Structure 1
Amino acid sequence: MADCIDRGLDEVRAEQETLREYVQDIAAVAATLKPGEEDGAKRREKFEELAERFERTAEPIHQHMVKVMLSFSAGLFVGADTFAEIKDNLDLERWFRLPKSHERRIHGHRHAGVRIVIEGPTLVHALDAHAAHPEPFTVDDLLPYRTAREPACQHQALQRRKIMRKARSKKKRPILLADLERRYRETPYL
């Protein structure tokens, strides 16, 4: 069995060496993207040097890497070290005060999601709570909020959503229209 493995490794040794070189190249590119000891200007300079080096080779993988690197280069180092404190997507969302990405993409990349629209006034504060209170919340921390009520705008958004859901339903639409007409007739004239 060991003999078969050795023969197999001998057959692919040249390809493995080539692949190891590609992995080293990719690691070098990845190192330029990680904020660390070097500032953004030095990392950008190394990134551009790597792109130029890959462009001079005739290997298809390096040519593809150059295309990808050039397409991303415009936005990779924007803001220099202004955003160094942002380490991951959660930090980025907190920085923008946006909800979590899975909630933004409930119905597609550009759709905000129903929960964000309805619970937005209270959700933003919950997402940003870690800034003022870095340690885990205790019962004593949360006790003053036990009687808190949702804001009026959040309640109104929920009511609008219920009406719109009825309006989309072929079965409930006539009932909704009759109810709205009844409410309109009952309103006092000014």
Structure 2
Amino acid sequence: MDELGSGGEVVKRLFDFLICGVVLVLLSPLLILSVIMIKCTSKGPIFFLQERLGKDGIRFQVYKFRTMTDTVRKFDVQVDNSNTEVTFFGKFARRLKIDELPQLLNVLKGDMSIVGPRPCLPSLQSDFNDDGLARLRVRPGLTGLAQVNGNIYLSWEERWKLDREYVENQSLLLDVKIVLRTILVVFLGEKWGKKA
């Protein structure tokens, strides 16, 4: 089912708030250290804001820790750690997904959920097939089915197919499984996720 219903939506939002609360408490020292490292290793703001597509195609600003030098640029492509503008701390933060943690603010605001298709750049919408369009029926997530099954090692079409699979099979149990697999991916790497 791709519709949770009002009861399911309430449960999912409660799950979001619960996970946000636990993560913010447990990782508060890491969040503070990240802010210090960003300010000490490169000039510029702490956060990087970027417009992304949300539920029903509504655009919103996603929060991330800044991992690149503070230069005016417009990226419509995925940037990896080989890019020379990724900072020393940025490489570390990207590898362990620390740069994504400020999106907990997006979850609390209701722009995102803990689990769901990753929010993409608006420019990608014109390339969507039916699977890509299906992902817009739910809130985007911090992590999702595609992220624990290879992520960057998958084509966009493969990611969208997994996103649609998630949309059509949403459940609290599936969300819990994805969160647990996400923890493993953080420590073992996305290549593990594709092989697992």
User: TM-score scaled by structure 1?
Assistant: 0.23
Structure with the bigger percentage of strand: 2
Structure with greater contact order relative to length (CA < 8 Å, sep ≥ 6) = 2
Bigger Rg over Cα: 1
Greater fraction of residues in helix: 1
